[in-house]
Amino acid sequence: MSDYFSLSNCDVIGFDLDHTLCRYHLKETSRLIYESFARYLVEHKGYDKDLLNLTPASWDFCFKGLVVDLEDGNLVKLAEDGTVLRASHGTSDLSTDEIIKHYGPKKEWQHFYSLNTSFTRSAKYYFYDNYFDLPGVLLCGKVVDMLHKRGNEVNSDFWKDIVSAIDHNYNTSAFKEDAGTYFPSVKKSPGRYLQPCSDSVKTWLRSMKNAGKVLLLITSSHSDYCRLVCEYILGKDFEELFDIIITNALKPGFFSCVPHQRPFRTLVNDVEESEGLPSLDKPGWYSQGNWPHLHELLKTMTGKPEPKVAYFGDSMRSDVFPATVFGKWETVMVVEEMEGDGVPKSDAAVSNEAQVEPQEKRGKFEGQGMKSPSTGSNQWGSYFVDMRRMEGDEEEHQKLTWCCHCIHTYSTMAIPSVEHIADLPLDYKFPRFSPDKPSTTGYYPRPPDSLLKRSEHL
């Protein structure tokens, strides 16, 4: 395999939508999502109203890449070998002794092999790896705190209520029915939550299409929400940019399920036809679906027996792992945490932000001391490297996190946003991740500060 990756060598270029092509105002969106989940628990499940009371400082706890251990309510941050780097019970840190009490002298999390090899969900744990469910980390912590305050036993029962809250707010019919808190709020004020794509991104998409590339959009969002988002970020003519649009794709099952389990369906006025399609025979807009049927269509469209596909996505569980493992696609992981770890924003993104709605219109949480969920946390540290000084130890220990290890293992390269590469020529050669290269190779435009510091330390 070449040391470099270039989009010009790809026949097909695909994109996830949310937090990939579409960037969100993360502070506002996270606050809305938290409120939508918590409000459901208070109004429908009888939880304390105190769940709705947050201070800006509360958001330090909200950190991507944590796993909630549903059997005891602990949240854990894992090293690349599955050992527990940090943990909390509720929102309170566990000491080293308490971690050892829970996870043994080697601090090994018992479900690591299952999570690390399949990324599937389980009745015993839940992995937080995208911004749509991330505010649930903070909610889990506060719910466990509340159960203790009431003197209730903490077991996995609380999780059923949280799943109900997620289903209530993100149900595929919720957008149409104005149900829950999330969709009605975004419909009412899209500019408060969504960031329009810069002109350079729109030009880049058109240039790829003009160069003969097949362009895909594959999102787990339902078609009605997809249309709202795309019209806002790309314009009313967004459908012209893509050869194939797949909504309600139910990733990662899109990649891992066999065709009869998840056939493609056509849409009429955003309603899925009840009869699944036996195959995919032409470009267009579809719902659900599966990778093998898409692969057959791509072979026809490109005239190649094995078309080379590059896919951009932000979720390891839903996008990068399954597209790499099942589809054998090249994957570009969008990791906003790179910007939270010292990588500067692109010029296009900075000028684009200056042109959108003024700060005061975007919402009340943007400038009030609330940290963005994409930045490091005082409580949890860095997304990429955990740096800790053990008690009585002069040496600072620097361990790669499991999330960072997964990026190197499963993605071709990582970027903070598509804006960072939109102005580059299509034949630009990006250094790719490789097992025999340093862990800093594969990030564009440069590695996060914490990884650079670790490589200097080594």
pLDDT digits (tens, 9 = 90+) for 128-154: 999 999 999 999 999 999 998 888 888
In Å, what is the CA distance from 71 to each residue of 68, 126, 309, 375?
9, 11, 40, 29
Evaluate if residue 397 carries a pLDDT over 90. Answer: no
DSSP label of 433: P
The pLDDT tens digits for 75-113 are: 999 999 999 999 999 999 999 999 999 999 999 999 999
pLDDT at residue 359, rounded to an integer: 47
Residue type, 455: S
Q: Model pTM? A: 0.95
16 is catalytic: yes
Mean pLDDT in residue range 227-237: 98
Evaluate if residue 391 carries a pLDDT over 70. Answer: no
Evaluate if residue 357 carries a pLDDT over 70. Answer: no
Mean pLDDT in residue range 243-253: 97
Position 392 confidence tier, pLDDT thresholds 50, 70, 90: low
Among candidate residues 162, 144, 161, the one with its CA nearest the CA of residue 153: 144
Question: How is the chain split into domains, by residue range?
Answer: 1-22+197-341+384-446, 26-188
pLDDT at residue 78, rounded to an integer: 97
pLDDT at residue 360, rounded to an integer: 41
pLDDT at residue 356, rounded to an integer: 60
User: Which ranges constitute the DSSP H helices of 211-305?
Assistant: 223-234, 253-256, 291-302
Evaluate if residue 368 carries a pLDDT over 90. Answer: no
Q: Which residues of 360-393 are buried (b: 16+ CB within 10 A; e: fewer)?
A: eebbebbeeebbbbbbbbebbbbbbbbeeeeeee
pLDDT at residue 1, rounded to an integer: 74
Mean pLDDT in residue range 381-394: 76
H-helix or E-strand spanning residue 151: none
Going by C-beta distance under 8 Å and a sequence separation of 6 or more, which residues neighbour residue 117? none
Evaluate if residue 56 carries a pLDDT over 90. Answer: yes
pLDDT at residue 287, rounded to an integer: 98
Q: Which two tokens stand for residue 122?
A: 């389980």
Number of H helices, E strands in the chain: 18, 21
- Does residue 257 contact residue 227 with C-beta atoms inside 8 Å? no
- Cα-based torsion angle of the residue sequence 38, 43, 48, 54 in order, rounded to the nearest 10 degrees: 30
Rg (CA), the chain: 22
The pLDDT mean for the chain works out to 93
Mean pLDDT in residue range 44-49: 94
For residue 252, is the peptide bond before it cis, meaning its omega torsion is within 30 degrees of 0?
yes
Mean pLDDT in residue range 382-394: 75
pLDDT at residue 154, rounded to an integer: 82
Ramachandran angles phi, psi of 366, nearest 5°:
-60, -40
Region of residue 216 (left: phi > 0; alpha: psi -120 to 50; beta: else): beta
Which position among 11, 18, 145, 243 bears the catalytic label?
A: 18
- Does residue 197 contact residue 233 with C-beta atoms inside 8 Å? yes
18 is catalytic: yes
Among candidate residues 323, 318, 339, 364, the one with its CA nearest the CA of residue 23: 339
pLDDT at residue 22, rounded to an integer: 98
Indicate the pairing of strand 12-15 with strand 214-218: parallel
The pLDDT tens digits for 445-456 are: 999 999 999 988
Which position among 3, 11, 16, 145 bears the catalytic label?
A: 16
CA atoms within 13 A on the CB side of 250: 17
Distance in angstroms (rounded) separating the CA atoms of residues 311 and 233: 19
Going by C-beta distance under 8 Å and a sequence separation of 6 or more, which residues neighbour residue 349? 23, 198, 417, 419, 420
The CATH number given to 1-22+197-341+384-446 is 3.40.50.1000
Mean pLDDT in residue range 200-226: 97
- Does residue 175 contact residue 225 with C-beta atoms inside 8 Å? yes
